[in-house]
Amino acid sequence: MSCGEGGDKTGPEAAARLIAEPPEPALYRHHALSGGTACSITPISRLQHQIYRQLSQGMSRSGKLAPEVNRALFVKNLNFQVTPEELFDLFGRFGAIRQIRQGIANNTKGTAFVVFEDVMDAKSACDKLNGFNFQNRYLVVLYHQPEKMVKAQADLAERQESLEKLKREHGIE
């Protein structure tokens, strides 16, 4: 069924009928009501729906979690005055927490690491809290990826060395 006017397939009555008596074998990808018209109703199979849900939840088709998903979360854009208790209250809603480490140095303020006991709790927290407005700041919640941090530190050292070399070549302090 697609958007249209008139006829038996559109209008408030048709939308009410679809809601009251949905066909059993299929699910629907889109079902929007705009101006009393049912729009873009596309039947999909239950298998397609299950695959879509798994992919949208960070799982592969085999039902396994994506490789970057782990128990440790890296949180950025925190208010500098946030307390560990407030972080525990916020993240503790999603499951048992093993550890919270909050940045206190000037270059790490506003960041924290949150380690959950269970990877699914960490995944749920990451999915729900990324972009969440907490103390008038929008949180950035990412999975901790230590191999990327090591690579980034090595890359930074290489760039600093290159910069120092260029400064010496051009006589800049």
Domains of the chain, with CATH numbers?
72-144 (3.30.70.330)
**Strongest mean pLDDT among 12-21, 37-46, 142-151:** 142-151
Is it the case that residue 93 has pLDDT exceeding 60?
A: yes
Mean pLDDT of the chain: 74
CB-CB contact of 84 with 101 (8 Å): no
Report which residue type is found at 40. S
Between residues 47 and 96, the one the model is more confident about:
96
Residues 38 and 40: their CA atoms lie apart, in Å, by 7
More confident residue, 1 or 110: 110
Structure tokens at 39: 């729009």
pLDDT band at 44 (very low <50, low <70, confident <90, very high): low
What does the pLDDT average to over 43-71? 58
Q: Mean pLDDT, to the nearest integer, of 3-30?
A: 44
Q: Is the pTM of this model over 0.85?
A: no
Mean pLDDT to the nearest integer, 70-97? 95
Using pLDDT thresholds of 50, 70 and 90, give the confidence band for residue 48. Answer: low
DSSP codes, 19-58: HHS--SS-EES--EEETTEEE---EE-HHHHHHHHHHHTT
Which one has a higher pLDDT value, 14 or 74? Answer: 74
- Give the residue, 146 or 33, on which the prediction is more confident: 146
Kindly report which listed range (68-72, 77-81, 105-109, 112-116) carries the lowest average pLDDT score: 68-72
Q: What is the mean pLDDT of residues 104-118?
A: 94
